[in-house]
Amino acid sequence: MKIEILGMGCPKCNQVEKTTKQIVSEMALDAEVVKVTDIKKIASYGAPMTPGVVIDGKLVHSDGTVPDKARLTTLIVNALASQD
């Protein structure tokens, strides 16, 4: 699993990255968490706002808010379920 955090390095984006890494660690997932700061790459996902979250190439969050831990966990679990 590859989880990309879209953002230019603002506090919101950094929080999403930190929380995502914490979830991946707690769930003992085989997942790579990558920060994407290239504006062209962010735009290529169609993200209207950051922070954004992309899981395995699919944009799953980009409304400009910081999803809480429960929401991020749900996004990850749903992505895992769709892999089966």
For residue range 14-52, what is the model confidence (pLDDT) as tens digits?
999 999 999 999 999 999 999 999 999 999 999 999 999
Burial class (CB in 10 A: 0-12, 13-18, 19+), 21: middle
pLDDT exceeding 90 applies to what percent of the chain? 90
**How many domains is the chain partitioned into structurally?**
1
Q: Three-state SS for 64? A: coil
- 9 has pLDDT over 90: no
Kindly give the residue spans of alpha helices, DSSP state H, lying in 1-84.
11-26, 39-44, 69-83
Let me know: does 62 contact 52? Beta carbons within 8 Å.
yes
Instruction: Inform me whether the pLDDT recorded for 84 exceeds 80.
Output: no
Confirm whether 55 is a catalytic residue: no
Q: For residues 23 and 38, is the Cβ–Cβ distance under 8 A?
A: no
* Domain span at 25: 2-83
| CATH (domain of 72) | 3.40.30.10
76 is catalytic: no
- Catalytic residue (one of 3, 5, 13, 23): 13
Of the listed 2, 9, 10, 25, which one is catalytic? 10
Q: Mean pLDDT over all residues of the chain?
A: 95
